[in-house]
Every structure is written in structure tokens, then in C-alpha cells.
Amino acid sequence: MSIEKIMVIGAGQMGSGIAQVCATAGYTVVLNDQKQEFFDRGLANITKNLSRDVEKGRKTEDEKATILARIQPSLTIEDASDVDIVIEAAVENMEIKQSIFKQLDTIAPAHAILATNTSSLPITELAAVTNRPEKVIGMHFMNPVPVMKLVEVIRGLATADEVYETVRDLSEKLGKTSVEVNDFPGFVANRILLPMINEAIYAVYEGVASVEDVDTVMKLGMNHPMGPLTLADFIGLDTCLSIMEILHEGLGDSKYRPCPLLRKYVAAGWYGKKSGRGFYVYE
């Protein structure tokens, strides 16, 4: 199964990052979003990243221009009609993703793979709304995509071996290291990471230590590059809450119960870096 043309749905932080690494690897990329302003913002992020590479001597201006030229704008999902794979990076909401996959199933060519960048939602449930469940797979990139080397490749219940192998090979061509993961809530990365973040929030909630001191313990004591509460702000506290709820519901264990302080911050609109305030205040 050959991949030449890729559609990325969603030009946000994850989608634009995926589009950048695909274009850098030489693929033609159709970057889709609902509004021109969303696409423009995503392309601006890609341009900024590539300009930084040029400044640091990692790329030339010509290479930057070539990469940008490979990215085509799209404001309609109908543009999936001639692609080999779609990587969906829309909002982490099952109903929205199922709606997208239903449409893609009728538009994308019969050979096309439908991949999702979901960080926690079940692949099997997404595949069930299509007539090609064997061609549906998870492709969970880490944030920021151009920097982080890992991709979790998640098999749904019906995912074909050939589809898995194609996506694994694609990940390698994008300069990533892939791991094979089965379809369980949170997969591997978030099943381990989010409970740690949630426990750090409990430590603050219960008055064990301040936000800064919890982060310092994990940075200096455990050699983490950033503290769990800084990381939570970077991920988005709304996203953290959503993943914890999926873990709690999917696994039924009280150890995955979201901390009440996390719920309170999300209810207040304190989502972290993207909203200007979370556990820390941002300019």
C-alpha cells in the first residue's frame, strides 16, 4: 500500500505539526479546516517553525519554500477524494470525530486509510461508523509534533495487518519511532502520564505542597524535563480532564477519578497556557 498524498484534518497545534512533518518528509499534504482563518493560523505556525530551523542552520530558505509549497489549503472535506491516507486531528470529542469519519468513508477512495490522532478515544468505536473498519487506525503523535519522536500506532479490533504495517512505515519515513498499541482507554502514553498529572493536582488540592514545589520535586528529584503541572498547562487542563474522564469511565477504577481542583479550573475557563491561566499565569 503506497502513500503519496496525505490529508490532515484540523490546522490547530497538532494538525499543523503533523502537516509540517509530512511535508518535510516529501509528501503532498492537504491541510483541512473549517475556516480560512484557522488554516492561515496553522500555516503561520508551520512557517514560524521552519523559519526557526533556517535561523539555526538546520534548513535553507529554499528547503523551507519547498516544504511550504507541498502544503495545499482545504476548506471542504470533499478534498479527501484523491488522498491515500487521512490523519484526523480535530477536537477530542467522539461525536465530532464520528461525524468526520462517516463523511470520510463516503468521500475518500476505497484504498484510503482513515487514521485518527486521538489521544484517548477508542479506535474500534470510530471504525464502527465506517464501512472500512479494517482501514481505520490510531496514529497518536506527541506534542509538539515536529520535535517529539514518538507515535503510538493503535490497532482497532478490526485493523488489518497491512494497514498497521503501512502506518508503521509511514511513521518511520516521518522520522518518528512508532510503538504498537492495542485499543484500551488512554493507550499507553496517557494511561501512565495523566494519572501522574492528576496525582500532582491532588497534592496541591490537599495542601501537600505548592504548585511550584510539586513541579520542582519532579524536575530535580525525578529528572523530568518539566514539572507535571507545567505540562498540564501546556497540554490544556480541559484536555487533561477529558482524558481522565475517559480513563475513569473506560476502566471503572476510582484511581482514575479526576481531581476536583482540575474540574474547578476547567469550569472557570482556566485551561492553561492557551487561555492565559491554569496552574500558572501566562502573558
Instruction: Consult the annotation and say whether 97 binds a ligand.
Output: yes
Cβ within 8 Å of residue 89, ≥6 positions away: 8, 9, 10, 12, 14, 15, 18, 117
152 in catalytic set: yes
Helix, strand, coil % in the chain, rounded to nearest 5: 50, 15, 35
Annotated ligand binding at 14? The verdict is: yes
Is 169 annotated to bind a ligand? Reply is no
CB burial of 211-221 (b: ≥16 within 10 Å; e: otherwise) equals: beebbebbeee
> Which entry of 49, 74, 120, 190 is annotated as an active-site residue?
190
Q: Is 7 part of any known ligand binding site?
A: no
Among the listed residues 16, 140, 171, 178, the single catalytic one is 140
Helix (H) or strand (E) holding 254: none
- In terms of Cβ atoms closer than 10 Å to its own Cβ (0-12, 13-18, 19+), residue 275 is middle
Cα torsion through 103, 109, 111, 116, rounded to 10: -30
- Flag whether 212 is marked binding: no
- Is 268 labelled a binding residue? no
Which residue is listed with cell 496525582? Answer: 199
Annotation-wise, does 183 bind a ligand? no
Whether 111 sits among the annotated catalytic residues: the reply is: no
Annotated catalytic residue: which of 45, 119, 178, 198?
119
Q: Is 119 a catalytic residue?
A: yes
Would you say 10 is a known binding-site residue? yes
32, 45, 152, 242: the active-site residue: 152
What's the grid cell of residue 68?
A: 511550504
Question: How far are the Cα atoms of 21, 168, 184, 195 from residue 181, in angstroms, in the given order?
Answer: 22, 11, 8, 19
Is 274 flagged in the annotation as binding? yes
Whether residue 57 is annotated as binding a ligand: the answer is no
93 is catalytic: no
Instruction: Residue 166: count other Cβ atoms within 10 Å of its Cβ.
Output: 20
Binding site feature residues for NAD(+): 10-15, 33, 92, 97, 119, 143, 274
Residues belonging to the active site: 119, 140, 152, 190
Binding site feature residues: 10-15, 33, 92, 97, 119, 143, 274
